[in-house]
Amino acid sequence: MTKNIYCHTSQNYHASQSCHPSQKGLAGFTLLELLTTILIVGVLAAISVPSFDAQHHRIKAKAERDSLFQDLRLARSQAITRSGTVSLCPSNPAKGTTCENGGWEDGWLMYVDLNRNGQFDSADTLIKQHQKNGKRIKLISRPAVTRLTYTAEGQAQLSSGDVQILFCFGTQALSFSLARAGHTRLEPEQSQAECS
């Protein structure tokens, strides 16, 4: 049975929404509510974008650190397996397969130094070439080194004690150390102050 709803039209009576079916479901936002919501979303986005950016650079720095860390382990293994000298040197892949005297940020070469002259040349065997992964990552070594070389015994040829390699990004630095015995060790995250 259907009920008929009769609405009064007198001036003292305010009709309910049930009298006007065309107004049902028209609840909405006021301009003030909409602007407040947009403002809150904008503030949250402004707060979160820098942390996403920092996290992105941290991930890139970690990937670079892990790449060099694993490449040093591979170089040591190759030196022992081949009973020869295996070296890594800074390289810029845009300039081909040559060792550079600059930093390690652009990438590096890993090669078997067959003639043991300390240079990568036509007599040597290229094992791997690594290209940089992040523009805003600064890679430094302490003390500064332009070659990391392993002997057939798996020892690192270092002029002084351990070498620390830092991957600097934002306000933080990831690092690992290389000992004369040839072993690599990951180190805890440090502040950017270590990079200067």
117 within some domain: yes
150 within some domain: yes
Helix (H) or strand (E) holding 33: helix 31-82
161 within some domain: yes
Per-residue pLDDT tens for 69-128?
Answer: 899 999 999 999 999 999 998 888 778 888 887 778 888 899 999 888 888 888 899 999
3 within some domain: no
7 within some domain: no
Q: Could you tell me which residues are beta bridge partners of residue 149?
A: 87
pTM for the whole thing?
A: 0.70
Domain count, the chain: 1
Hey, CA dihedral for 130, 99, 150, 83, is it positive or negative? positive
Q: Residue 98's domain spans which residues? A: 57-195
Per-residue pLDDT tens for 37-69?
Answer: 999 988 887 776 666 777 777 788 888 888 888
Question: Domain of 63: which CATH number?
Answer: 3.55.40.10
46 within some domain: no
Q: Are 99 and 109 in contact (CB under 8 A)?
A: yes
In angstroms, the CA 34 to CA 92 distance is 52
- Hey, which bits of 15-151 come out as E strands? 86-90, 107-112, 125-131, 138-142, 148-150
37 within some domain: no
- Hey, which bits of 101-196 come out as E strands? 107-112, 125-131, 138-142, 148-150, 163-169, 172-178, 184-191
190 within some domain: yes
